[in-house]
A = this chain, B = another copy of it.
Amino acid sequence: MKKMMFALLAVTAAGTVHAQAQPALPDPATTDPTSLQLMQGFPPPANRTIRFADGTYYQFPKTRWSFSHIRELVPTANVWRGTGPASPLPAAPMALDTLSFLDDKGQPTTWAEMLNRTYTDSIIVLHRGKVVYEKYTGAAQPYLPHSAFSITKSFVGTLAAMLVAEGALDPSALVSKYVPELKDSAYGDATVRQVMDMTIGVRYSENYADPKAEVWDYGRAGGMAPVPPGYNGPKTFYEFLVNLKKEGEHGAGFAYKTSNAEVLAWIVKRASGKSVATLMSERIWQKIGAENDGYFQVDSVGTESGGGGASLPLRDMARFGEMIRLDGKFNGQQIVPKAVVDDIRKGADPADFAKAGYPNVPGYGKGYSYRNMWWVSHNAHGTFDARGIHGQRIYIDPKAELVIAKFSSHPLAGNMANIPLTDRGFMALAEQLMK
């Protein structure tokens, strides 16, 4: 149990739970950070104190506090909202808590139970642009950015696709055109499009259960995980990336690797001449009429983590999702070109996705693909989504005119532990709304 409780570095949304055992999970109600008085008091008592350097920030249930307080633990770069008014998010509340459906074991459950069982910190549901449901628990607050984990990738992918649409980024070019430093790495003979759709052959393991997995080197390099005394490894994301080795072929199939998103973030910066945080502020956050600033974790030289380092306010993440649902038009302006949204929704080749070998369950089923760092279902509703490990989500169901943004702090670092249940709830809600 103790080993499971230390959920390890959480920067990816890998679909598999790898070799991790799935012991009985603690009752979420007993892990509420407010009841546990985590980080309460001046100073908090020793056993309720959360630090970065000793790794406590990433131990469950302390994550239920730290995921809403990342900036108090590490350096960050702001995603500025601008000075205009927040765009309206009209409320039209619906009683969803009792909505019933069958869970991933075929047992009856409800919306409220699903939220609890997936360790939900906050959730907002928009139907036809109106807020029909909104809830915050524990440490979560509407004004507190929450760790978005790999939802970050979908923002980087969207920004990259916008640069492509403008002609500022050539998807058929080699990565080394934009980042010559990667010429001798795994990415030396890869195209930008292969990076955007994660069909890269690179030796990079996301297996948290393996202490030698590259995901650990990545975290230490980027300041996302504490380093041991005398640490002599790479000290920045870039120092880590340039040393990645090729494994397999590019373009041979979808393989989810966080390193691809970091490389794409690097490409985006070189192509635009701006940091990802600045670009996201100028192109998205200021334009959607965000209520609050977001931020990125940065490494020791100020490089944002494009793989998993964004912390975002829930309501603004919903505004972003609604803008995407509306073909890029929101708050009175075209923010993302319709062609970019079309390209995401059209997805990539499901045959490439199938090679990743996910089980055929909601959220990963047959016919899925991965495009511009979005997960595309190709199902009857045309749903597509951004997802982060521990249960983060932007879920867009065009047919049901539904957008859901959700933050969680699930104890297991693997989306297979929460998406199959979560998505049955989302799909039941969609059916309910379409009645």
Binding site for B on A (CB under 8 A): 39, 42-44, 49-53, 69, 71-78, 80, 82-83, 85-86, 143, 229-230, 236, 238, 266, 269-270, 275, 291-293, 295, 298, 300-303
Contacts and interface: CB of A to CB of B under 8 A. Distances in A.
Contacts of A72: 75-77, 298, 302
Nearest to A276: B42
Contact of A52 (B69, B77, B300, B303): B300
Given A53-B300, A74-B75, 20 more contacts: A42-B275, A43-B238, A44-B301, A49-B301, A50-B301, A50-B302, A69-B302, A71-B71, A71-B76, A72-B76, A72-B77, A73-B75, A75-B75, A76-B76, A80-B143, A82-B143, A83-B291, A85-B85, A229-B229, A229-B230
Most buried by B among A83, A269, A298: A83
A312 to B, nearest CB: 14
Contacts of A302: 39, 50, 69, 72-73
A15 to B, nearest CB: 30
Name the 3 nearest CB pairs between A and B, nearest first. A42-B269, A72-B302, A83-B291
Number of copies of this chain that the complex holds: 2
Contacts of A269: 42
22 contacts: A42-B303, A43-B236, A43-B238, A49-B301, A50-B302, A51-B300, A51-B301, A52-B75, A53-B300, A71-B71, A71-B295, A72-B75, A72-B302, A73-B75, A73-B302, A74-B75, A80-B143, A80-B292, A82-B143, A83-B86, A83-B291, A293-B293
Nearest to A46: B301
Given A53-B300, A291-B83, A42 B270 contact: yes
Contacts of A300: 51-53
A75 B82 CA distance: 22
Contacts of A43: 236, 238, 301, 303
Nearest to A69: B302
Q: Which of A42, A52, A86, A302 has the most CB of B within 10 A?
A: A42
Contacts of A42: 238, 266, 269-270, 275, 303
A74 B236 CA distance: 16
A367 B291 CA distance: 47
Contacts of A292: 80, 83
A53 B236 CA distance: 13
A69 B300 CA distance: 13
A74 B76 CA distance: 8
Nearest to A270: B42
A34 B385 CA distance: 39
Nearest to A74: B75
A27 to B, nearest CB: 27
A238 B236 CA distance: 32
A53 B223 CA distance: 12
Contacts of A229: 229-230
Nearest to A178: B42
A192 to B, nearest CB: 16
Contacts of A75: 52, 71-75
A269 to B, nearest CB: 4
A76 to B, nearest CB: 6
A181 B415 CA distance: 45
Contact of A143 (B53, B83, B85, B275): B83
Nearest to A80: B143
Nearest to A274: B42
Contacts of A303: 42-43
Contacts of A49: 301
Nearest to A42: B269
A136 to B, nearest CB: 15
